[in-house]
Amino acid sequence: MAQLQPVLIAGQWRPSRSAGSFSPLNPSTRQSTGEVFPVSSLEEVEEVIAVAAQASEALLAVPAEARARFLERFAERIEARRAEIVALAHAESGLPVKPRLDEVELPRTTGQLRQAAQAARQSSWTLPTIDTKAGIRSCFAPLEGGVVVFGPNNFPLAFNSVSGGDFAAAIAAGNPVIAKANSSHPGTTRLLAEEALAALKETGLPPATVQLIYRTDHQVGQRLVSHPLVGATGYTGSRHAGLVLKEAADRAGKPIYLELSSINPVLLLPGALRERGAEIAGEFATSCLVGAGQFCTNPGIVLLLAGTETEQFITAVVEKFRAAPVGTLLGEGVERSLAQSVAALQKAGAELLVGGQAGGGAGCSFNNTLLRVSGARFLAASEALQQEAFGNASLLVIAQDEAQAEAICRAFEGNLTGALYTDRAGGDEALYQRLAPILRRKVGRLLEDKMPTGVAVSPAMNHGGPYPATGHPGFTAVGIPSSLRRFAMLQSFDNVRPHHLPPELRDKNPTGQLWRLIDGAWTQGDMPAKS
């Protein structure tokens, strides 16, 4: 058996005080990748937490510019080791090297790190607010204690706990990160952490700013997110494991930001189908099957109104699902869980149109799957029919009329996204006005005439939404600078002497670039001199 991989604690790669071990699988071959990783003990996790708390204090003395340089240097180092990182990510995830990992996900990852660096440098994410009359000033500032990041299985780079969105946001906001690798790509995570550590040393940040463990049992995980010395947690992953962590964090009053599950309703209004049904069928099939459907924003449920156009649309989509190549799934767990979910949807009354069985692709795979159910049946079992089937599967819901479509919208749970397709001539307008306001409040991001799978790293992005999509409808996991504010506390300074204020709140704008709300007006200027 291969030697146990070391953990990264306090700036050192060292043997784990492990409570067990695990070996990841290559999902394309169903064979072990040959590496063995430790399950960390409670003792080890307690040490990681204490070290992070010290780093959290040390980081207070580190200027934002140094954090920015770290993020940029880290991005450069990832690019320099690109081939090795992408190759291991492919072996561990089964995701294609090109275009996905090399041309899409890696550039997105380094781009995100650089955007976070810019946000740290400008500091406008802190929303500095100055009330000259009351003598009170406020801004957001890093938390006390490390930020724990649990990355998901489906983005080994762009949401990796050591290079992804939560990581970049936490560091840019001034927090050290305790990374818990996703168990499906621990080797990729280790490579990234090696580069992070080197970049920390090059830019003079506390070496304990980034620490890495690979796995814990549930009980140790609960201790991790609820520990008094931990600042907050970012979690992206399965609903079940997420809720176990949420309960522990909530009970301790520790913020936890979760991205749990989402089926992303797409409403195809009749006029749109009449106008361009074939085109939409293509868009939908592409969005649903890209990456074997393993996206948080995969269109998992489509609402249609009964009619000829709908039947034509369904026929076209079934054809496309049958013809499209079947992708490799991220692992045996995903394959198993997809089979279970599809079976559960059938048990709840959905009818299989195509697919429904494992296989059809290289390694772990499941045939492209489409199901349909009547609106009446959906309303009778709306909870069971809204369970996420993570992967290349989707459920079509056929409403018998507009009133039923409205009732179905009202029955939707919280989701990351919701999309509406309408005709360009305006024939769908009345129905849009009836359904959109309902859908709007169920989802974080509303799309029109567009499928949900692309998630731009934009300041206006909301990759969040009402429970159970996430744990709080006011925060986004993607989008800089707003994602930084998840890992921050609001700090007010009342009558505090000028030289005791942080640079963001002093009379003089520290960079001339920082946006501040002074007496109700946003400005990049200095405080006006007192008259």
Q: Which residues, numbered 129-148, are part of the site for a copy of itself (CB under 8 A)?
A: 129-131, 134, 136-138, 140-141, 143-144
Are 463 and 452 a contacting pair, CB within 8 Å?
Answer: no
Whether 194 sits among the annotated catalytic residues: the reply is no
Among 240, 323, 500, 531, binds a copy of itself (CB under 8 A): 500
In the complex with a copy of itself, the residue whose CB is nearer, 15 or 528, is 528
- Residue 220 CA: distances (Å) to CA of 40, 43, 44, 193, 399: 8, 9, 10, 22, 46
Q: Which part of the chain contacts a copy of itself (CB under 8 A), choosing from 108-116, 155-163, 342-350, 495-503? A: 495-503
With CB under 8 A, what is the number of residues at the site for a copy of itself?
A: 74
Catalytic-labelled residue, pool 296, 309, 335, 504? 296
| Element of type H or E holding 310 | helix 308-323
* Spatial contact of 491 and 180, defined as CB atoms under 8 Å apart: no
- Which one among 15, 63, 522, 528 touches a copy of itself, defined by CB under 8 A? 522
> Which contacts of 38-42 are long-range, i.e. CB under 8 A and separated by 24 or more positions?
38/4, 38/5, 38/7, 38/213, 38/214, 38/215, 39/214, 39/215, 39/216, 39/217, 40/7, 40/16, 40/213, 40/214, 40/215, 40/216, 40/220, 41/16, 41/17, 41/220, 42/219, 42/220, 42/223
Q: Quick one: how many helices (H) and strands (E) in the chain? A: 14, 23
Choose between 23 and 523: whose C-beta lies nearer to a copy of itself: 523
Nearer CB in complex with a copy of itself: 76/144: 144
Closest CA to 142 of 63, 69, 243: 63
Residues 127 and 232: their CA atoms lie apart, in Å, by 20
Residue among 12, 31, 489, 525 that touches a copy of itself (CB under 8 A): 489
- Evaluate whether 52 touches 225 at the Cβ level (below 8 Å): no
Region of 37-45, 216-224, 351-359, 439-447 interacting with a copy of itself (CB under 8 A): 439-447
**Which of 114, 126, 78 is CA-nearest to residue 491?**
126
CB neighbour list of residue 414: distance below 8 Å, 6 or more residues apart: 442, 443, 465, 466, 467, 468, 469, 470, 473
| Residues of span 286-345 touching a copy of itself by CB under 8 A | none
**Residue 296 is among the residues annotated as catalytic for this protein:** yes
526 binds a copy of itself (CB under 8 A): no
- CA atoms of 469 and 467, how far apart (whole Å): 5
Pick 125 or 150: Cβ nearer a copy of itself: 125
Q: Which of 72, 259, 275, 388 is catalytic?
A: 259
Within 49-78, the residues that bind a copy of itself by CB under 8 A are 57, 60
Which token pair is 48? Answer: 């990681």
For the chain, the C-alpha Rg in angstroms (whole number) is 24
Q: Which is nearer to a copy of itself, 185 or 254 (CB)?
A: 254
Q: Which two three-digit tokens encode residue 300?
A: 């998992």
Of the candidate residues 440, 508, 525, 528, the single one contacting a copy of itself (CB under 8 A):
440
- Give the binding range for a copy of itself (CB under 8 A) out of 106-114, 215-223, 314-322, 479-487: 479-487
Q: Which of 231/293 has CB closer to a copy of itself?
A: 231
The CA distance from 210 to 160, in Å, is: 13
Candidate ranges 23-31, 43-51, 362-370, 483-491; the one touching a copy of itself (CB under 8 A) = 483-491
Nearest approach, Cβ of residue 139 and a copy of itself (Å): 9
- Give phi and psi for 41, each to the nearest 5: -80, 165
* E strands in 449-520: 488-494, 516-518
Identify the residue among 72, 113, 445, 453 touching a copy of itself (CB under 8 A).
Answer: 445
436 in Cβ contact with 418 (< 8 Å):
no
Q: Under the criterion CB under 8 A, does residue 121 sit at the interface with a copy of itself?
A: no
Contacting residue, 435, 462, 504, 509, with a copy of itself by CB under 8 A: 462
Q: How far is the CB of 400 from a copy of itself (least distance, A)?
A: 23
Position among 79, 250, 332, 402 found at the interface with a copy of itself (CB under 8 A): 250
240 sits near a copy of itself (criterion: CB under 8 A): no
Nearer to a copy of itself, 25 or 477 (CB): 477
Which residue, 242 or 327, is less far from a copy of itself as judged by CB? 242
- Please, which of residues 371-430 interact with a copy of itself by CB under 8 A? 414, 417
Catalytic site positions? 259, 296
